[in-house]
């Protein structure tokens, strides 16, 4: 965001809305699917949840996140409910 922007606060507000946990984690619509998420999540929690939903193995997820599987499993057990 340029320092010369006429609306720096508005621009940051716009960017901030896309990196909040609520936006990244999405929500279920009345039709049963996520409605406000597109692209690749930037939050680790959201990324791991999406990879688990896509049936990516924990071994592969650990490799993607550059952590060992034990660390990944602790993260999942602490922050996510496996489905």
Is the per-residue pLDDT at 25 higher than 60? yes
How deeply is 32 buried, as exposed, middle or buried, from its count of CB atoms within 10 A (0-12, 13-18, 19+)? exposed
Task: Return the closest-CA partner of residue 41 out of 58, 27, 24, 22.
Answer: 24
Going from the C-alpha of 5 to that of each of 2, 10, 14, 48, 74, the distances in angstroms are: 5, 10, 13, 35, 43
Summarised one tens digit per residue, pLDDT across range 43-77 is 888 889 889 988 999 999 999 999 999 999 999 99
pLDDT of residue 28: 57
User: What is the rounded average pLDDT of the residues 4-15?
Assistant: 90
Q: Which of 10-14, 36-40, 41-45 has the lowest mean pLDDT?
A: 36-40
Task: Return the closest-CA partner of residue 80 out of 18, 58, 28, 33.
Answer: 58
């Amino acid at each position: 965001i340029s320092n010369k922007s006429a609306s720096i606060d508005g621009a940051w507000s716009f960017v901030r809305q896309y990196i909040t946990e609520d936006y990244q984690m999405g929500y279920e619509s009345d039709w049963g699917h996520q409605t406000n998420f597109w692209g690749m999540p930037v939050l680790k929690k959201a990324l791991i949840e999406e990879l688990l939903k896509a049936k990516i193995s924990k071994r592969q997820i650990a490799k993607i996140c550059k952590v060992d599987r034990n660390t990944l499993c602790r993260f999942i057990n602490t922050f996510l409910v496996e489905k």
